[in-house]
Amino acid sequence: MEEIAVGGRLDPTLPLVSGDTIRLEQVVVNLLSNAIDALRAIPPPRHLTVDTWVENAMVSVAVADNGRGVAPEIAARLFRPFATTKGRRGTGLGLYISRQTAREAGGDLDLLPSTGGGARFVLRLPAIAPAQAQAEGTPSASRVSPPPTSPPPPPPSPAPPLPRDTSQVAASLAGLRILIVEDDEAIRRPMARFLAWRGAEVLEVGDGQEALGRLGQWPADVILADVRMPRMDGIELYHRLEDGRPDLAARVMFLSGDLFRLAESGDTPVGPERVLVKPVDLDELERRVLGFARSVAGAGGGGGASSRASGTTL
């Protein structure tokens, strides 16, 4: 690919901002990577601009490109989970997690109109007053630095896992072991990445047979099993666990693309409260998994190191 012309206006007097340095850097890298991907799809000239400024006690970082832009129907859902313009190359989580990160820091991330065509994303973060920064010692403050004079290379594929600083992330699932049993990698991997970002220890397998092999040595607190899979589906996995490890069977939640048809046919051996409908809303996934894990632990059905000590063979 030919070179990309990089420009923009950077404010050299930017104050510190509130937030975790590593995670905020990841947001900016994600925006730059998206812009580079957009520019790779067009012929020259290719322009990437980065602007920074302070307004209303907010530090803004704008990343813009002169690519093909974002269609209105895609823009309307761009920050939702699993929304992607990259086809199978994208997880559809980058912008969703980036916006969540900005909002957790008290800011936001938006797609705004671009006068030069293409896309323009603006990250806004609350500035820290100098007196406040000095008083607090800025333990969680970040300096917004100018980008390098040339754009960073495109990230490798697959993308590295998101940094997990559980002192900064609202790690609601910290300490939970979650096994995802799903044959569709396009569904499984984004779910795993999100759950790990929320603090869980996640293991992925492609069918029930592989899950049985792993559960003998890795007794998960929550098992997310697709209803229909090759070799061994989630229903058979559940029944096998009922026979050999009923404590693990009590930790199974099912994934299905059609909850209503399941309810009518009685395909699942559990109630609809233990069924997640695909595509799964990630906020609902987090809420349901956390609630389910608590209910299982309260009923004495699993969770915690003591329940994992058993080495019973499945």
Beta-ladder partners of 60: 53, 124
- Report DSSP state, residue 157: S
Taking the chain (314 residues) in runs of 10, the rounded mean pLDDT of each run is 87 91 87 93 94 96 95 85 53 74 93 87 92 56 52 41 41 92 91 94 96 94 93 91 94 76 50 77 90 87 45 43
All CATH 3.40.50.2300 domain ranges in the chain, comma separated: 177-308
- Strands 16-18 and 141-143 come out as antiparallel
Residues 6+ apart with CB under 8 A from 300: none
What is d(CA 292, CA 304) in angstroms, rounded to the nearest whole number? Answer: 14
Question: What integer pLDDT is reported at residue 271 of this predicted model?
Answer: 65
Give backbone dihedrals phi and psi of 97, rounded to 5 degrees, phi first. -70, -35
Contact at 8 Å (CB) between 50 and 19?
A: no
One CATH from 3.40.50.300, 3.10.20.30, 1.10.10.60, 3.40.50.2300 for 177-308 = 3.40.50.2300
Contact at 8 Å (CB) between 52 and 14?
A: yes
Question: What integer pLDDT is reported at residue 132 of this predicted model?
Answer: 64
Question: What integer pLDDT is reported at residue 136 of this predicted model?
Answer: 56
Question: What integer pLDDT is reported at residue 199 of this predicted model?
Answer: 93
Q: Which CATH fold topology does 5-129 show?
A: Heat Shock Protein 90 (3.30.565)
All CATH 3.30.565.10 domain ranges in the chain, comma separated: 5-129
Question: What integer pLDDT is reported at residue 77 of this predicted model?
Answer: 83
Give backbone dihedrals phi and psi of 254, rounded to 5 degrees, phi first. -100, 145
- Report DSSP state, residue 151: P
Give this prediction's pTM. Answer: 0.52
Contact at 8 Å (CB) between 116 and 66?
A: yes
Question: What integer pLDDT is reported at residue 135 of this predicted model?
Answer: 57
